[in-house]
Amino acid sequence: MNKKLLLLMLVIAGSSAFSQVSIGITIGPPPPPRVVRVLPPSPGPEFTWVEGYWYPVGHHYKWHAGYWTRPPYPGARWVAPQHDGERFFEGHWDGERGRREHDHHWDRSRDRDFREHDRGRDHDRQ
């Protein structure tokens, strides 16, 4: 009897040595998108409009207003972020040259993005 008990304890101890514990924190789906009634005029034919969207920052969502931008390469198309009810999927650029992740630091690049307050400035003209 003692050998069976010892064997059972070894099996339980051995199997628990390979077990994993996972703790996840979810913040749920984002709020509904804000509505843009009228798009600002395009600054040029090479620009693409990216609709505004919510994206997670820590334990909450932050609104990213819509804007005109140049795609990372010709022919790239914007794939909007989405939430499937359980997981959030980041927005990204996709096309013949592959997927390019969105970098929120790009949004401050005056050579790439165009904001309404830039209208009339020649920063993107060569």
Residue 104's SS3 state is helix
Q: Which residue has the tokens 């070894």?
A: 10
pLDDT tens digits in sequence order for the chain, 126 residues long:
677 776 666 666 655 555 566 555 677 778 877 776 788 999 999 999 999 998 888 888 898 888 999 999 999 999 999 988 888 899 999 999 999 987 766 655 545 555 555 555 443 333
* pLDDT value at residue 45: 93
Beta strands 67-69 and 60-64, pairing class: unpaired
The domain locations on the chain are: 43-117
Please, are residues 66 and 52 in contact by the beta-carbon 8 Å criterion?
Answer: yes
Query: Which token pair is 82?
Result: 């989405």
**How many residues can be counted in the chain?**
126
Using alpha carbons, select from 121, 102, 101, 99 the residue that is nearest to residue 110: 121
The C-alpha atoms of residue 88 and residue 11 are separated, in whole angstroms, by 39
β-partners of residue 67 are: 50
Tokens of 30: 């984002």
The Cα 20–Cα 38 span in angstroms is 51
Which pTM was predicted? 0.59
